[in-house]
Chain A
Amino acid sequence: MTAVTTRAEGSAGPDQRSLLEIEDLHVTFQRRNGPATRAVDGVSYQVRPGEIVGVVGESGSGKSVTSLAVMGLLPPRGVRVFGSVRYDGRELLGLSGGQMAALRGRDLSMVFQDPMSSLNPVVRIGVQITEVLLAHQSMSRAAAREEAEHLLRQCGIPDPRRRLDEYPHQLSGGMRQRVMIAIALACKPRLLICDEPTTALDVTIQAQVLELLKELVTELGTAMIMITHDLGVVAGLCDRVNVMYAGRIVESGDRRELFAHPRHRYTEGLLSSIPRLNEDRTEPLRPIPGTPRDVVGWDDACAFAPRCRYAQDDCIVGGLELVGTEHPDHLLRCVHPAPYYLDAGAGHETDTAGGEDR
């Protein structure tokens, strides 16, 4: 759990039209000998310019695959993608490789989870940065190098000029991730997708990297999608949060509202499973029972039902929709959600995510 200071109010940007609109996205993996896997099973959400959207879920929830589909980075064979992904009004699914390549790195950028394996071990850092610049902007090689040095400095890397000629294995994990961020933001993209950028890092470095990300995207006005399983990351960083389970969004809303009033049983479970510092040691832990494998298809029922203490027979219906709640903008896919406690410990700035006390 990381403690990060929150973002100022009202910086979601003046332009209300969505920068990125994902509508009913489905991604299915077809293995050669085996059943098809529905990794993404009908996901819809938007990102407004300058907004920071969090996508929370366990591994297998489909959160990473969604972003790969947006970027067009899914393997060409064995995968079926359908639905709609619109960037600035323009449909991305179905664009040719060349058209997508023009957008990637320049308008849409991504930071991946493991910085060691995500950087080419036999190419110098400097080249790995300048190649993005040279691919999308017309500048001389010398100018690109200057810019690369400037980017490294901006990302908090000491002695950047020397680093340009070094190789990834000569840098520490935190520094490598800063390099990845520098690469991703080099052409000042309008949307940055971060897929668990701090999971592979030491805890002490995590906060620094998140702080850096927030600083940079605020300064550039870049919208960001932060994919994570760590609610602490979300708590300090995001404007909106989407909670995913088994390939679909089960709850979505403003960050503060969600943390204060989690309605979906899964979200509720996530929040209350975090041990609290001020709890009595003899209090038992409250995990969510079962494993992410205890799932039924969304076509037949609520996928979370096998693990839900409150599941009842009318949860076992297919086609559950994401519907609004009492609070505007707070969407929910649940038949028996948690009740809405009007004033339960909510509305404060949170440094540790907390559910209500029961």
Chain B
Amino acid sequence: MLRFVVRRILLLIPVLVGLSVLLFIWVRALPGDPAKALLGEKGTPAAVARLNAQYGFDQPIHVQFIKYVGQLVRGNFGSSAVSGEPVLPTFVERFPATIELAVAALLFAVIVGIPLGYLAARRAGGALDLFLVSGSLLGTVIPVFVLAYLLKVVFAVGLPGHIGGFKLSSLAFLPASGRQDVAIDATHITNFYILDGLLTREWDSAANAAVHLILPAIALGSIPLAIVVRMTRASVIDVLGEDYVRTANAKGLAKSLITRRHVMRNALLPVITTIGLQTGGLLSGAVLTESVFAFNGIGSYLFNAIGSLDYSVLQGFILIIALVYSLVNLIVDLLYGIIDPRIRTS
């Protein structure tokens, strides 16, 4: 078991090295002079010279690489060409918002998706199954930002017009933007707004933050939801055909016990791995979703950076996102190793 853990952690190292090499190549490949590209308009000759010295852009390649890695290790990911703010601190400040959003989206996907997947599997081939499978298929093909806009317009801003006697705008009861109503004047410690509200016992502030999460989380979680439904359904269908489920039935056990202990414990294992892989999509999706809701996480910041081709921010944020993604997958792998007794006891 320990060997398994150590080996997985060691596998991370070549990935880290590879990532820094890749980023290095990327910076060198930027159009024009790398230092000027990174600094953008803020690039006064003095600043450009300073950056050149820092990164050694005028020196042989291997020296450059070492200097580059040195800067990364020291936490110097450069500064935004647009605002001048240092990249890493900006990321750290805004990350909690995206984490809250991603966790909310994931919870939505899992809490709704697993039961639905199970139901579809149990009634495989039936009407409900067909509906759920088609629905989940649809969920994977609607672009996230389109869904985000639709949700915002219908449930937050309000559609004009009526259907029958029903005024469409009355569906709009959720907040359209932001993480929290400014009027609430909440105290923030960790920048995790819900957590902050709970820690400071400002219940209304926590509740308000939670309500603001609803629409973005549903938009962001739509694709993970679809995938969880399909995976769970496929997995449960497989497990239901297994011999040990037949044995459990032959023992005359209660249906709920069989479902809980024999079916789900096995069926959920592949779903766990999928969840790890979903985080990549969640982080990317955040870039597309946050801006629609003016949600101040790393997603909206990166969105603006892409639009203005702020290379410093791009480089820093993408590197950190890749690191986070790798870490999350590592943790999920380790968790899986702990949960599956076949791996744990070998």
Q: Which residues A92-119 have CB closer than 8 A to chain B? A: 97, 100-106, 109-110, 112, 114, 117-119
Is A5 among interface residues, defined by CB-CB distance under 8 A?
Answer: no
A49 to B248, CA, bound (A): 25
- B247, B252, B340, B342: which contacts A101 (Cβ < 8 A)? B252
- Structural contact, B244 and A135, CB atoms closer than 8 A: no
B345 within 8 A of A: yes
Are B251's CB and A114's CB within 8 A?
no
Q: Within the complex, which residue of B251, B262, B341 is in contact with A135, where a contact is CB–CB below 8 Å?
A: B251
Q: Within residues 286 to 334 of chain A, which ones have a CB less than 8 A from any CB in chain B?
A: none
- Complex Cα–Cα for A122 and B344 (A): 11
Q: Which residue of A lies closest to B341 (CB)?
A: A167
* B248 CB contacts on chain A under 8 angstroms: 120
> With A and B bound together, what is the CA distance between A183 and B247 in angstroms?
10
Contact: B247 with A104, CB < 8 Å?
no
Cβ–Cβ < 8 Å partners of B345 in chain A: 166-167, 169-170
CA distance A131 to B261 in the complex (A): 10
Cα A135 to Cα B257 with chains together (Å): 10
Q: Does B253 contact A (CB under 8 A)?
A: yes
Chain A 114-143 interface 0/1 with B at a Cβ cutoff of 8 Å (1 = within): 100111111110010001100110000000
Interface string of A227-269 (1 = CB under 8 A from B): 0000000000000000000000000000000000000000000
User: Which residue of A109, A123, A136 is within 8 Å of B262 (Cβ)?
Assistant: A123
Would you call A112 and B247 a contact (CB within 8 A)? Answer: yes
How far is A127 from B345 in the complex, measured between Cα atoms in Å?
17
Most buried by B among A71, A120, A132: A120
Interface flag for A203 (CB, 8 Å): no
For chain A residues 53-112, which have a beta carbon within 8 Å of chain B? 71, 73, 97, 100-106, 109-110, 112
Count of residues in B whose CB is under 8 Å from the partner chain:
23
With a cutoff of 8 Å between Cβ atoms, the chain A residues found around residue B262 in the complex are 120, 123
Residue numbers in B under 8 Å from A120 (CB-CB): 244, 247-248, 261-262, 265-266
User: How far is B265's CA from A121's CA once the two chains are assembled, in angstroms?
Assistant: 10
Q: Find out whether the CB atom of A105 lies under 8 angstroms from the CB atom of B246.
A: no
Tell me the smallest distance from the CB of A110 to a CB of chain B, in Å: 5
A114 to B261, CA, bound (A): 20
Partner of A105, one of B251, B266, B342: B251
Complex Cα distance, B257 from A124, in Å, reads 15
B185: CB under 8 A from chain A? no
A selection of 18 A-B contacts at a CB cut-off of 8 Å is: A101-B252, A104-B250, A105-B252, A112-B243, A117-B242, A118-B243, A118-B244, A120-B262, A121-B341, A122-B265, A122-B266, A131-B253, A131-B261, A135-B251, A135-B253, A136-B252, A166-B345, A169-B342
